A and B are shown apart, each in its own frame.
Chain A
Amino acid sequence: MTEQPQSAIIAEGLTKGFPGVRAVDHLSFDVSSGEIFGLVGPDGAGKTTTLRMLAGIMPPDAGVASVAGFNVAHDPEGAKHQLSYMPQRFGLYEDLTVDENIRFYADLFGVRKAEREERSTQLLQAAGMREFRKRLAGKLSGGMKQKLGLVCALIHRPKVILLDEPTTGVDPVSRRDFWRILYELASEGVAILTSTAYLDEAERCHRVALLHQGKLLFCDTPANLKAKLGKSVLSITSSKPRGLRDELEHAMGISSLVLTGDGLHVVVDDAARRIPEFEARLNSAHVPFDTIQQVTPTIEDLFVDAVSSGASVHA
């Protein structure tokens, strides 16, 4: 509360240990108003612990968390009024209807009736759920439940929202609805911190922190992250991917090679040089293949490259 806050969410050297494991290790990042920031990493990377510390429900061992200008440790109440935290299992009442759940959360957050009506109509519309207002929450599909959780978490117009793996188990269509709501909120100036274990979902965020074993591997926009790989990615298709792999496994210039369902996904030092080399090699070994194409690297390529090359993973 000393200066005008520049960032809606600030994590500064956040650290948390549990017996035998350092779950979060000196993690620093910040999220601006109107930004969707992704905490991305596999299970056990420290995503949930980080969100809990920012939400003020778990004290850090070291470091500072601040939300909407409030230091979470010193002024938890101030922070709570500005913030909404949606844990992995959001507490919906399955024997209440969609409307009743929303009303319950509106009352909890002290939202007035007129305000509640307007806000819930707008949110349900955005979630594509208007015709389900009278349905019991327990009778909704997984994707709908997640969207209802989000509606409840947003009923009091928080300035900052913290979402813990909101799209886990949600099919791609509902997932897209979910993201549409997030983009709308961001355009209204809400700061959004969301976690995901799916590296492909990282591409939807404005900026991403890639976590591994409690540490920050990288923090940047998805486009910049991909540029950081500094290597090229080739996709080679074939009806006999295994033969391809056996032939190319020990070829020069390959730093990683993955067998996919209908080909290989290969990270190489220099595409222009390796494509003709590989073509010649496969042809002379009579290994059938359809095409060798250079493709855009994925966040997963970067993650695997960073972790397996044992690169220093300090922020």
Chain B
Amino acid sequence: MPDANNSIVIENLLKQFGDFVAVDRINLEIRKGEVFGFLGPNGAGKSTTIRMLCGLLTPTSGHAQVAGYDVAREPESVRQNIGYMSQKFSLYNDLKVIENIRLFAGLYSVPSNQLSERIEWALGMANLKGRENLITATLPGGWKQRLALGCAVLHKPPVVFLDEPTSGVDPISRRQFWDLIHHMAEEGVTVFVTTHYMEEAEYCNRLALIFRGKIVALGTPSELKQKSMKGELLLVECQPLGNAVEVLQSAPDVMDAAVFGNALHLVVRDATAAIPQVKKYLSDRSITVGRVEKIHPSLEDVFVSLTTASDSGKEWEA
């Protein structure tokens, strides 16, 4: 029997479309009240996984339980116990604030005796009291996205799925939004976030990275930054950058080289050993070298490293 503290349990979950294995026997346990981030490049199996978790797509084999319900056998119950929000598609822009709330209350079958209390709650949470009659399209981004969240959780679901919830929102509104999310999580709501943006991933308690249908990394943001890189990262200031990238790509012990603004990012096996080697290698080839130093990888560096290292980025777009 599954652990009662887990709100999403995924066991050997597999989805095949013909010969193509979109999701390849993945396993995950997500605790109640956890803010969990699910990352992966386009076509890696992210959307397929989420569709299965939301009860919209039947797994080929394996199991997944969401809020205690089996996604294959009880998809209806799963759907009644989740909320879903995406920054882009959730709200009807030409409806008033209150009309959007009523619409979602209807869609999620909020019982009529709870309706007025839930509407009040959503308006309060989104800070839209007194603004019920504004047309949604005219709201600033940060307000709109809080309204979308309010609409997605009107029926008090124990599990909420968020798809790039704060993309394009200004940083101050984004920080407020994530405070709201962490507050919900503290009250026991499980939050499952999918995103391409590492700025959003930093707000998650734990992250999983899916690539070619498999989970290739799992941990807290700082664990991933410390442990998941295949190699260490160097910042190299040099001129001209274009030539430097070319020669470094074929240099010994350099796993990857890329231009990053006014400098290069280099992935090497051992940063301390590589620093003098890189300096010499470049100056031997008449490239002017400035600062060369070890830097801490960002989540994006980790992401790119894990999703390109296995095959140098070729032909994964199947």
Interface of A toward B, CB cutoff 8 Å:
41-45, 128, 131-132, 141-144, 168-174, 176, 179-180, 183-184, 187, 197-200, 203-206, 212, 221-223, 237, 242, 258-263, 265, 290, 295, 300, 303-304, 307-308
**Does B111 sit within 8 A of A, measured CB to CB?**
no
Complex interface: chain A residues within 8 A of B313 (CB):
128, 173
Do A199 and B258 touch across chains, with their CB atoms under 8 A apart? no
Q: Which of A44, A143, A205, A261 contacts B37 (CB 8 A)?
A: A261
Smallest CB gap from A265: residue in B: B202
Bound-state CA distance A141–B37 (Å) is 22
- Write the nearest CB–CB distance from A238 to chain B, whole angstroms: 10
Do A261 and B203 touch across chains, with their CB atoms under 8 A apart? yes
Do A260 and B262 touch across chains, with their CB atoms under 8 A apart? no
Do A261 and B241 touch across chains, with their CB atoms under 8 A apart? no
Bound-state CA distance A43–B221 (Å) is 26
Bound-state CA distance A254–B166 (Å) is 25
Smallest CB gap from A42: residue in B: B170
Do B172 and A262 touch across chains, with their CB atoms under 8 A apart? no
Q: Which of A174, A258, A261 contacts B35 (CB 8 A)?
A: A261
Q: Which of A43, A128, A205 contacts B141 (CB 8 A)?
A: A43
Do A174 and B41 touch across chains, with their CB atoms under 8 A apart? yes
Give the number of residue pairs across the A-B interface with Cβ within 8 Å. Answer: 129
- Write the nearest CB–CB distance from B165 to chain A, whole angstroms: 14
Do B186 and A171 touch across chains, with their CB atoms under 8 A apart? no
Interface-centre pick from B170, B182, B199, B203 (highest chain A CB count, 10 A):
B170
Interface of B toward A, CB cutoff 8 Å:
35, 37, 40-43, 140-141, 167-173, 175, 178-179, 182, 186, 196-199, 201-207, 220-223, 240-242, 258-262, 296, 298, 300, 303-304, 307-308, 313-315, 317
Bound-state CA distance A171–B175 (Å) is 22
Bound-state CA distance A237–B219 (Å) is 14
Do A168 and B167 touch across chains, with their CB atoms under 8 A apart? yes
Smallest CB gap from A257: residue in B: B175
Apart from A222-B262, A307-B170, what are 17 other A-B pairs with CB-CB below 8 Å? A42-B141, A42-B168, A43-B169, A43-B170, A142-B42, A143-B41, A143-B42, A172-B303, A173-B304, A179-B259, A197-B168, A204-B261, A206-B262, A222-B261, A223-B262, A261-B35, A304-B175
Bound-state CA distance A131–B182 (Å) is 44
Closest 9 CB pairs between A and B? A42-B170, A171-B41, A262-B220, A261-B204, A43-B168, A197-B168, A183-B259, A187-B242, A141-B42
- Write the nearest CB–CB distance from A157 to chain B, whole angstroms: 18
Bound-state CA distance A171–B304 (Å) is 9
- Write the nearest CB–CB distance from B42 to chain A, whole angstroms: 4
Complex interface: chain A residues within 8 A of B198 (CB):
172, 200
Q: Which of B140, B202, B242, B260 contacts A184 (CB 8 A)?
A: B242
Bound-state CA distance A308–B173 (Å) is 11
Do B220 and A300 touch across chains, with their CB atoms under 8 A apart? no
Q: Which of A198, A258, A263, A295 contacts B175 (CB 8 A)?
A: A258
Smallest CB gap from B296: residue in A: A295
Knowing A176-B258, A203-B261, the reply to whether A263 touches B222 (Cβ < 8 A) is: yes
Bound-state CA distance A174–B303 (Å) is 12
Complex interface: chain A residues within 8 A of B35 (CB):
261
Do A180 and B259 touch across chains, with their CB atoms under 8 A apart? yes
In the assembled complex, 12 residue pairs joining A and B whose CB atoms fall closer than 8 Å, in A order, are A42-B168, A142-B42, A168-B167, A168-B168, A179-B259, A183-B259, A212-B170, A260-B203, A261-B207, A300-B199, A307-B171, A308-B172
Smallest CB gap from A165: residue in B: B168
Bound-state CA distance A184–B246 (Å) is 11
Smallest CB gap from A36: residue in B: B261
Do B172 and A307 touch across chains, with their CB atoms under 8 A apart? yes
Smallest CB gap from A263: residue in B: B222
Complex interface: chain B residues within 8 A of A212 (CB):
170
Complex interface: chain B residues within 8 A of A242 (CB):
182, 186
Complex interface: chain A residues within 8 A of B170 (CB):
41-45, 212, 307
Bound-state CA distance A144–B258 (Å) is 20
